Amino acid sequence: MKRFDFRIMLGGGLMLIGLLLLLEKMNIISGAADIFWGAIMLVAGAGFALAFIQKPRERWWAIIPTMALLGLGASAILPRAFSGITGGLFLGALGLAFFIVYFTDRSRWWGIIPGGVLMTLALVDGLALGDRAGDFGSGSLFFLGLGLTFLLVALLPNPVGKMQWAFIPGGILVAMGALFGSQSTAGLIGYIWPAALMLIGVVVLIGFFLKKE
């Protein structure tokens, strides 16, 4: 069997983009370049997915570029009518990747935090797109999502040990989300949430160093 030659991929790619540009010129399709690069990212994502499936515990990192590339590729090839959901689609796919990292090996409990944050941002983006939540509603939902993320860290099993410290930021954030559900306190969100994120960072670092002792 002949060795795979990179020129095959290059030649095939040039033929594909040439065909897409021709179809766009004939008004048969639109956004040929987006479709081409979207297809490239989907193929690359499939390659990382194959590497992950073969050895999921050793190659856990491969699921992150897998979901990122699949999210970007799907966003690129979607019709322009769906352009508003591309941000949420990418964030949701990337958030799912971190949850897969955790469920592949529960000692990687840290994957729950970026996974929950990204999923929350995807949900907020979707609600904002449909005008189902204004700045006030989105801010409240953001805090609630972050709080539930830390509660998951505390409640979900892992071989490292109990993460009781996560109840502290989780409880604070859920309470803040409920507090900002009141119109009278909604104006404080822009000032408090940066401070809250800094506080959460401090608590996470404290929890990490306490586990090291």
Mean pLDDT for each consecutive 10-residue tract of the chain (213 residues)? 55 68 69 76 89 92 94 84 79 94 92 92 76 59 88 88 85 80 55 66 66 52
- pLDDT the model gives residue 65: 94
Burial of 137 from C-beta contacts in 10 A (0-12 / 13-18 / 19+):
middle
> In one letter, which amino acid is 48?
F
Q: What is the dihedral of CA 73, 79, 83, 89, to 10 degrees?
A: -40
- pLDDT the model gives residue 15: 72
The encoded tokens of residue 60 equal 């856990």
pTM for the whole structure: 0.73
- pLDDT the model gives residue 1: 44
- pLDDT the model gives residue 29: 66
- pLDDT the model gives residue 59: 92
- pLDDT the model gives residue 86: 81
- pLDDT the model gives residue 30: 66
Residue indicated by tokens 């297809």: 39
- pLDDT the model gives residue 92: 92
